[in-house]
Every structure is written in structure tokens, then in C-alpha cells.
Homo-oligomer: A and B are copies of this chain.
């Protein structure tokens, strides 16, 4: 298969880890006889510096024609004091919305050799394997009006959803639960928000179409507690945009190895954007020591979700897993009796394991 892949390395460590993903993908391509064509474009702070905008036209056009997009990371102190519309994050929000990438998938699963670094006690975190599905193009992030009023003395933001926006993400969640352990936790704040009550109604309606999936409703405040006290009681979690932002980040630190975590932002036809959960980490940028695993596993998610290449994706996941079992780790992690390596070395080890 021939696939057009847009690379958006972005800021900080983004460039270094993107090289790792490319190397791994090229290896997979030759092994399986695929052809991946890479097109690199600017986004975020780098684009602000070079093009005067976090999301240049050229990048938008390229992304519109892509089969999939890999993103490194955006942002950094340098651009933190710019006005809202000129901030690196705007590029990311813009792409999500423009391409209609409504489903954000965030798997959280520990790796045995790394679990000792979890802030949670071993018996609490053990066995946790969660897929958080966050609605990504609606809610408070995009609702209008979002403005100052009364000469600047008041302000409103708007949490707005259309039924179809809720339906498609909830369908996605039920389907994902079917491919896992048939358990879906829907998170809302139905005791306060009208949007949450509508959300809950739709989940209940939809559940009739998926009688094999057990559904549980949990309030967002209770979910924030349960993620810490009983993380292994979850299978698939589905929730709206802002709740998903908070809960998926909360969940990302539970295993103690944030640098390992991938994410996917997809739409129904399979086009998607894939990025590691960690940020641009300006403090270690350029040093060649960033952990490439989150990016490499994001590339694996791309193969699976955008290209339907399940076998290829599984091979990458296994190669990453094996590298850890062999004791290799970048400086952000610790493995007892293990060996600390650089970004490049780690990438070579994964490639050798393929």
C-alpha cells in the first residue's frame, strides 16, 4: 500500500522523536512491502517564527490531502506570552477542528519493567489497562459565544453540542469496547449540566444497539477519584472534550511513564493525527535524549487505525515492549539493572527488534 504521511515535528523534542518514528516506519515498509511517502510541514512555535502563524496555509492544505498525520509536540516558554490566536496550541486546535478529528483515543497501560515508577502503590496500579475516548471537536473548546461582555466586566464561554456530535463519539466508544473487554464507562456531570443529561440519554439509547457491552455512568468528579483508587476497574471511558482533557491527563501519570504514551485523533473515514502524550520538553530539546517511544507507539496507532495494518502495528508494539524487557531506557525512565541509552540508540534497538 502507498500512503501519504504528513510529518509535523513541531517544537522542542518534536524533531528528534519524529526521526525515530520515520526510521521505524521505513523499516516496517520494507519488511511488509508498503510505501510510505513523508511530507514535512511546519506547525506551532516554529511556524510562528517562520511564517507568522501557528498553522500556515501550506500545512493546512497538505493535511487535507494526507492519509494520516504524525505530530511531534508544540509549544514552549518562548511563545507563552503571545496573544490567544497566535499561540502554538491554536495550530493544534485548528487542525483538529478543520479535519474533523472528533475522536481522541488515549490508551493507558503500564509496562511491567517501568511500573515501579508509578506514583501509585503496585497493588493499586497493577492490571490497569484503560482506553480513554475523548470527544475532540465540540464542547467548551469551540462553542460560541466565547467573549467578554459589559465592557470587559463579564465573560462567557459556551459548552455546546449537537446530537450528531455526541452520537458519533458514543458509537465509537461502544465499538471500541467491543474490541476490548465490553465495558464502557460514560463520564458526565448529569446532576448539573443539561449537556450531560443529553449525553447520558444518548448513551442509554445507544446501549440498546450494543447489548453485549456493559455501560456504567460515572460523574466526572467521582471518575477523577476512581482513576486513582481503582484504575484497574476501567476498560473504555468515553466523555466530552474538557472532561476528557482533564481525565486523560490525570490517567497519563498513573503508570509512571508518561514518555511511553501515544494518542490518536481520528475521524470516521480513518484519517487521523497521531502524537505522543508528552509535550515539547524544551529543557531537554536538542540533547538527543528524549524518549522516542510515545512517538513510535503513536506511529503504530496510525498503522492500526488509519491504515488497517494490525499486524504491522502489533510488531512495533512488541518491539518496544521487548526493548524495555531487555532493560533499555532513556534518561526519563529507570529500569533496575537496565542500560540508559540515547534517543537514537533506543530507536535502533526498537528497529533491531522488529
Other-chain contact of A87, B87, B121, B159, B191 (Cβ < 8 Å): B191
* A153 with B159, Cβ < 8 A, contacts A146-B193, A148-B194, A250-B225 known: no
Closest chain B CB from A128 CB (angstroms): 12
State whether the Cβ of A104 lies closer than 8 Å to any Cβ in chain B. Answer: no
A352 interface contact, C-beta 8 A: no
Task: Say yes or no for A281: interface residue by CB 8 A criterion.
Answer: no
Whether, in the assembled complex, A195 has its beta carbon less than 8 Å from a beta carbon of chain B, the answer is yes
Question: CB of A120 within 8 A of chain B?
Answer: yes
> Does A157 sit within 8 A of B, measured CB to CB?
yes
**Contact in complex: A229, B253 (CB < 8 Å):** yes
Cβ-defined partner of A249 (8 Å) among B87, B119, B124, B225: B225
The contact of A246 among B84, B118, B154, B220, by CB within 8 Å, is B220
Q: Which residues of B contact A154 (CB under 8 A)?
A: 160-163
Of the candidates A148, A164, A249, the one having the most CB atoms from chain B within 10 angstroms of its own CB is A249
CB contacts (< 8 Å) of A124 on chain B: these are 119
Task: List residues of chain B with CB within 8 A of the CB of A269.
Answer: none
> Cβ of A57: which chain B residues have Cβ within 8 Å of it?
none
- Distance in angstroms between the alpha carbons of A246 and B218 in the assembled complex: 12
When distances are taken between beta carbons in the complex, the residues of chain B under 8 Å from A216 are: none
Would B228 and A249 count as touching, CB distance under 8 A? Answer: no
| Residue A53, interface by CB 8 Å | no
Q: Are B224 and A141 in contact (CB under 8 A)?
A: no
User: Which among A120, A242, A248 has the highest number of chain B CB atoms within 10 Å?
Assistant: A242
A140 at the binding interface (Cβ < 8 Å): yes
Closest B residue to A84 using CB positions? B197
Q: With A84-B197, A224-B250, A225-B253 as given contacts, are A156 and B160 in contact (CB-CB < 8 Å)?
A: yes
A119 and B89 within 8 A (CB):
no
